[in-house]
Structure 1
Amino acid sequence: MRDAYKEFDWLATYGPFYDVSCVSFARSLPPREALTRLGAGPGDIEQVTFDGLQERTMECIDADNLRSDYVGALETAGWTVLVQLWTGSAAFNRLLPTLSQGTEVVSISRNLHADDHFTYAIDGEEITCFNQLSPQTRMGSEPDRLFLEMWEVGLDPHHEWEGPGLHATFQRSFALAKKLTGVAFSQSMLDMRFLAARIRNV
């Protein structure tokens, strides 16, 4: 079961998700409503391909902090998948209480130059979150809520600093998300059409 992360190896290759990105899953929340909750105006939401999402992301990068506020959303298996390129978790997670109100959200962030985070939120509350490189240090109202699931995908909740380093933590985080949502974020999803918009300045 710990090898289940291998289906997500494509995310760790050099590409749009490799450097700085955030992928979130929101249960029973249509893409348009998810974008609206994040601050998109009704008239700002457009339909784009993944190539279009990348182009618009670059157009919307803030020159001062090199962060984009453009988000794409698609719906699959009862969950909306939100894709944001060139943004870090600390900023995006400030919007999780609003996004997760009345539902649950799983969010995975990647920042090759700083920290990678995993966050699980329910009804506006951060339940469990951790740095993917140090899963033994968990925060939230129920830091041990995902203990078994983390162990099953190889994000060792008892990891010791002096022990061997953790391997493929980014991919394992998507394996953990799959256990919680039933949704495997696949490369084929990038062939789908996204609803997308600029959100609040994060």
Structure 2
Amino acid sequence: MAIKPLLRNILTIGAVLIISGSLNGCAVVAVGAVSATAVSVSNDRRTAGTQLDDFNAQNTASRLLGKQDNLNETANIEVTVYNKVALLTGQAPSQADINQAEEQVRSISYVNKIHNQIRIGQPIATSTELYDRWLATKIRTKILASDNVPTSQISIIVEDSEVFLMGLVTNQEATAAVDIARHVDGVARVVRAFEIY
């Protein structure tokens, strides 16, 4: 894959630092982020076992895709697994490559559904990655401020200004989350990948 997980983590930290640096009370923002993560894990509608299995399946999928030389060199594909559902996002040069990526993920017996949202094209630039992270932070902030959406139940994935929402939510929560994301400046499209709770 074009951007390795370590670089991706560095980009995320950099984006958070850039955003935090523009806010008053930076220390509070950083502490709040850690606390929000802990609360998210404990309030998740998935069991602790499912959360762990999702994490392991996601890592397995990333390893499988990383072993495909053509995908590793020319594509930028990310896998997110939530409650046994896999979401594939990113870019690949051809439909054959997209199909190959899906086949690799489909070989993981734990995954029972795949949303393949890989786009044909060249991997996005690092600056676009940073912008996507900023958009995800803006969306999460607006969802946190809403009484209608449980933030701990939603995964927000942004790829080239397209927003993908995953989670175990009610119909009302899903509609509210999509509405919030749709009205954030810079969002090109919102794709629902929810499971209805």
Greater RCO (Cα-Cα under 8 Å, separation 6 or more)? 1
Same fold (TM over 0.5): no
Q: Which has the higher helix share?
A: 2
Give me the TM-score of the superposition, normalised by structure 1: 0.25
